Structure 1
Amino acid sequence: MTTPSRVVRLTVDDVIHDDDQVLLRLGEPPSPVPAPVADLLLSWIPNRDNMNTATNRDSRWLFPGRRAGQPMHSDALSALVNDLGIPTTAGRVSAIREHVLEMPAPVVADALGYHQVTTAKLAAQAGSTWSRYAAGDHLRSPSGWIPGRTDDS
């Protein structure tokens, strides 16, 4: 899950335009960007805000800030996105709730970089059935455990 604080740290080098496909490097491998968003992204790059000051002319930030050499503040980006009618916090929480309904909260926390308490609370609110999941390494046998005999052995 990519938060506004991570999005503002993207640079124009994180946007990969390869023939007919646009990819965004949010992690590895880069993620494909759907066509309507890709068009907006590609048209944004040459027309980015805050590029007129002498110290920002060569900025590589995808979302340059008002201060030279700094990206846009994450709160400013969230406000812009909210002004477009996209509720960033509600959307993020909704997405996490969907994940905790499909898999255990500790797994979601590890995968998305959230604290396990946060995902556990969202799982409880969403009515998740994974409440008895035991987090941890399930590949090792408990200490002192001896496998039982089967008919094959």
Structure 2
Amino acid sequence: MVTDDVVHDGRHVALRLGDPPTPVPEPVAALLHDYLQDLPANTPAINQDSPWLFPGRRPSQPMNPGTLRDALRKLGVPAETGRTSAIRQLVLQAPAPVIAQSLGYHDKSTTRIATDAGAPWKNYAPGAHSS
């Protein structure tokens, strides 16, 4: 994501993840707004012109995902819990094999998450269904 993907109209904050932009709830909206205000001062000197929301140290590169994960952990944000919660919600809305293929996960992992979540798709048969 780049900084232009954060839309702030003076009252509300949204993320441009698609059309229309997705509203960001409080308190995350305030944190994101404050982060953007402080971003220029905290961007590494070698990457001052970076458009990335989370700029890396190398020019034109975003922050390494591991570095971002570690920074979130230091702030007390459990990134793995959020990811698992998101996948859990997805497998309640669509079959686990479809989610696995879409996200690049092994289908056994998403099937286990779906079973734990009580997903209604347990009898879904993946593959082509043409007659």
User: 1:57 is matched with which residue: 23, 48, 63?
Assistant: 48
- Percent identity of paired positions between Structure 1 and Structure 2: 47
* Structure 2: gaps of 5 or more residues: none
Q: Deviations over 1:65-124 (max 9, x none)?
A: 1223321111111111122222111221133224434543234446x6344613223223
More moved, 117-126 vs 37-46? 117-126
User: 2:34 is matched with which residue: 35, 40, 43?
Assistant: 43
The list of structure 1 runs, each at least 4 consecutive aligned residues, that deviate by more than 4 angstroms after superposition, is none
Q: CA deviation at 1:39?
A: 1.6
Instruction: Give TM-score scaled by structure 1 length.
Output: 0.67
Summarize the Cα distance change of 1:98–1:14 in structure 2 as closer, same or farther, 3 Å threshold: closer
Q: Deviations over 1:30-77 (max 9, x none)?
A: 211113212211121131265251x42222111111223321111111
2:44 and 2:57 in contact (8 A); partners too: no
Q: CA deviation at 1:21?
A: 1.7
| Matched residue type, 1:82 | R
1:121 aligns with 2:112: yes
2:20 counterpart residue number: 29
Q: CA deviation at 1:28?
A: 3.5
For the residues of structure 2 that align with 1:41 and 1:104, how far apart are their CA atoms?
33
* Structure 1: gaps of 5 or more residues: 1-9, 144-153
1:88 aligns with 2:93: no
Q: Normalized per residue, which structure has more helix? A: 2
**Structure 2 SS opposite 1:123:** helix
Instruction: Give TM-score scaled by structure 2 length.
Output: 0.76
| Matched residue type, 2:52 | W
More moved, 10-19 vs 26-35? 26-35
Residue correspondences, number: 129
For the residues of structure 1 that align with 2:44 and 2:83, how far apart are their CA atoms?
33
Q: Which has the higher contact order (CA 8 A, sep 6+)?
A: 1
